[in-house]
Amino acid sequence: MTRKRRVAFPRMDNYNVALNYLVETGLDCTCVMAPPMTRRTLELGSKYSPDFVCAPFKYTLGSMLELLQEEHVDVLLETGGVCRLGYYGALQKQILHDLGYHTEFIDLASMGKHKARGYYDVLRRINPDASIPKALRALKDGVQAVRYIDAIEDRVRRDRGFEVQRGSMNAALDTFLAELSAARCRRALDCAYRKASQTLDNIALNKPEHPLRVGIVGEYYTVMDEFGNHNIERILAYMGQGVEIHRWMTFTHRNLEYNEQADLALIAPYVRYSMGPTTSATLAAALRYAGAGFDGVIHVKSFGCTPEVDAMAVLQNISVDRKLPILYLSYDSQTADAGVQTRLEAFYDMIDMKRKKQS
Ligand code: SF4
């Protein structure tokens, strides 16, 4: 019997669960899951990264190095992107090569314009014997798994600050992710989602009619990666009487359902052109939160992220025009938990006082 090829990719928060499904059921390979991000991941990545790169480069390089140091990996995948992320795969491949790792490296950014042909070639490189219909079915299911993850996380984000039994929503999320991870067919995916929805329905909440509401906006990777943003959603949710947290930026919204023209129309009073991979979405989300009467917005980005630096000047204008408090958080490898915590506490105090003054 031939050994299954071992496929890995850098950690991407909870979406790894969906990629695991795709590799195991669609490509007939063994998925080697990267360990959760820790300080060590970041230190490893920073050690071998050029100083000026943005933090996602360091996180993903550190994650790949941990995988290669601890596991046998046949194929390592790196994603592409529309900012300089598109060049990162090539650079990371060179760094790993210079460090003596010669694992097959597939850079999805190098697929060129013909995406369908590119994906077909990638599939053949990973497993020449993989069945195309089976891979397509698994891809469809994997996309559904991503939608499920985003839907469950959205509920948890909104309500975890108000649970009667502290930690019950996080526990439900962990169980859901474990079940999704073990699923090997669409029925099991659907079942895990239904079960998690019911569990969340049954969790007792002590939620006021008009809770404080905060929208999180910003750069794709840092905004979604809990370790990378130092758990701001969890920390803020539990402050004071609880905070309802919203975040538009998810894989589902940005990659599966995105309508950039609609966002550009919304932000037209502030900008005339698309400004980068997530900038229009960041500005549009901030305007929607302002329109819905949110108490504040937190802008999250990696240090040196050019598209989101551009967004900040426009956010200042939105903040003044719409009287919307905005906290700006910029992360690099030196960012410490205590600094983030202090700034969140100050922000919470400010929006809480503002709300009390208004009522
Ligand atoms: S969006 Fe910004 S932080 Fe993210 S990869 Fe691109 S430049 Fe780096």
| Spacing, Cα 224 to ligand 1 middle (Å) | 13
Ligand 1 atom with least separation from CA of 302 = 3
Spacing of C-alpha 86 from chain mean position: 17
Residue nearest to atom 3 of ligand 1 (CA): 305
User: What pLDDT, on a 0 to 100 scale, did the predictor assign at position 114?
Assistant: 66
Q: What are the sequence ranges of the domains in the chain? A: 6-130, 146-205, 208-359
DSSP 17-56: HHHHHIIIIIS--EEEPPPPP-HHHHHHHHHTS-TTS-HH
* pLDDT tens digits, one per residue of 104-142: 999 888 776 567 788 888 899 999 999 999 999 999 999
To test ligand 1's pocket by mutation, which of 219, 301, 335 has the most ligand atoms within 8 angstroms of CB?
219
Rounded CA-CA distance 245/247 in Å is 7
To test ligand 1's pocket by mutation, which of 53, 59, 79, 85 has the most ligand atoms within 8 angstroms of CB?
85
Rounded CA-CA distance 357/341 in Å is 24
Residue nearest to atom 5 of ligand 1 (CA): 85
User: What pLDDT, on a 0 to 100 scale, did the predictor assign at position 152?
Assistant: 98
Residue 51 corresponds to which tokens in the numbers above? 């100083």
Q: What is the CATH number of domain 208-359?
A: 3.40.50.11900
Kindly state the average pLDDT of the residues 187-192. 98
Closest CA to 77 of 127, 169, 10: 10
| Spacing, Cα 236 to ligand 1 middle (Å) | 24
* pLDDT tens digits, one per residue of 40-89: 999 999 999 998 888 889 999 999 999 999 999 999 998 766 677 778 88
* pLDDT tens digits, one per residue of 151-189: 999 999 999 999 999 999 999 999 999 999 999 999 999
Closest CA to 109 of 86, 143, 75, 77: 86
User: Pocket around ligand 1: residues whose beta carbon is below 6 Å from it?
Assistant: 54, 56, 81, 83-85, 219-221, 277, 302, 305-308
To test ligand 1's pocket by mutation, which of 54, 88, 330 has the most ligand atoms within 8 angstroms of CB?
54
| Spacing, Cα 354 to ligand 1 middle (Å) | 33
Rounded CA-CA distance 28/25 in Å is 6
Kindly state the average pLDDT of the residues 183-211. 97
Ligand 1 atom with least separation from CA of 277 = 1
Cα atoms in the 13 Å half-sphere on the side-chain side of 160: 23
Closest CA to 50 of 88, 106, 86: 88
User: What pLDDT, on a 0 to 100 scale, did the predictor assign at position 78?
Assistant: 86
User: What pLDDT, on a 0 to 100 scale, did the predictor assign at position 167?
Assistant: 95
Quickly state the pLDDT bin for 285 (edges 50, 70, 90): very high
Handedness of CA 201, 203, 204, 208 (dihedral sign): negative
To test ligand 1's pocket by mutation, which of 82, 222, 300, 308 has the most ligand atoms within 8 angstroms of CB?
308
Residue nearest to atom 2 of ligand 1 (CA): 305
User: What pLDDT, on a 0 to 100 scale, did the predictor assign at position 112?
Assistant: 63
Q: What is the CATH number of domain 6-130?
A: 3.40.50
The identity of residue 170, as a single letter, is N
Q: Classify residue 108 by burial, with Cβ atoms within 10 Å: 0-12, 13-18, 19+.
A: middle
User: What pLDDT, on a 0 to 100 scale, did the predictor assign at position 256?
Assistant: 94
* pLDDT tens digits, one per residue of 222-281: 999 999 999 999 999 999 999 999 999 999 999 999 999 999 999 999 999 888 789 999
User: What pLDDT, on a 0 to 100 scale, did the predictor assign at position 351?
Assistant: 98
Residue 261 corresponds to which tokens in the numbers above? 């023209």
To test ligand 1's pocket by mutation, which of 222, 305, 308, 329 has the most ligand atoms within 8 angstroms of CB?
305
The 3-state DSSP class for residue 213 equals: strand
| Spacing, Cα 51 to ligand 1 middle (Å) | 14
User: Of all helices (H) and strands (E), which one includes residue 193?
Assistant: helix 186-201
Q: How large a percentage of the chain has pLDDT more than 90?
A: 82
Residue nearest to atom 6 of ligand 1 (CA): 83
| Spacing, Cα 89 to ligand 1 middle (Å) | 13
Quickly state the pLDDT bin for 1 (edges 50, 70, 90): low
